[in-house]
Homo-oligomer: A and B are copies of this chain.
Amino acid sequence: MSGYQHILCAVDLGGENLAVASRAVELAKQYGAKLSLLHVVEYIPIDLANELVLPQQQEIEDQLVEQSKKAVASLVSHLDLEQISENVISGSTKAEIIEFTKAGKVDLIVIGQHGRHGFSRLLGSTANAVLHNAPCDVLAVRIGA
């Protein structure tokens, strides 16, 4: 068994990402592995009447991506590692994490995990979905315990 070579840290840009990303940095250093940070913008336009297709929806998504890029860059500036690959992608969180993992030959995914009774069930279910579908090891970092 060889050590980890490419670690992917998936972040949701909530307040506790620094703890998750710091753990990923620590492991990247231990293993001398490449570290990629990924945030997925999951923007679903609300159109209950199924009638309004607003031209500004693309604009809103573009703005979300821009804001997320800044947030990821800010997070990276707090991390103690020279080379970190920053990635912001629009799409389904689970699908994009798995896609990135396969394309980048990631061998360890680091993701935050609230407990079952935590306030972020969405994050919990993402960690779950990633756990079941990832082609590699998954480290769920406990946050807000």
Contacts and interface: CB of A to CB of B under 8 A. Distances in A.
Contacts of A139: 137-140
Q: How many copies does the complex hold?
A: 2
Interface string A27-51: 0001100000000000000000000
B113 A131 contact: yes
Contacts of A1: 19, 22-23, 26
21 contacts: A1-B19, A1-B22, A1-B26, A30-B31, A115-B132, A115-B133, A115-B135, A116-B132, A116-B133, A124-B132, A127-B131, A128-B131, A128-B132, A135-B142, A136-B142, A137-B139, A137-B140, A138-B139, A139-B139, A139-B140, A140-B140
Interface of A: 1, 3, 19, 22-23, 26, 30-31, 113, 115-116, 124, 127-128, 131-142, 145
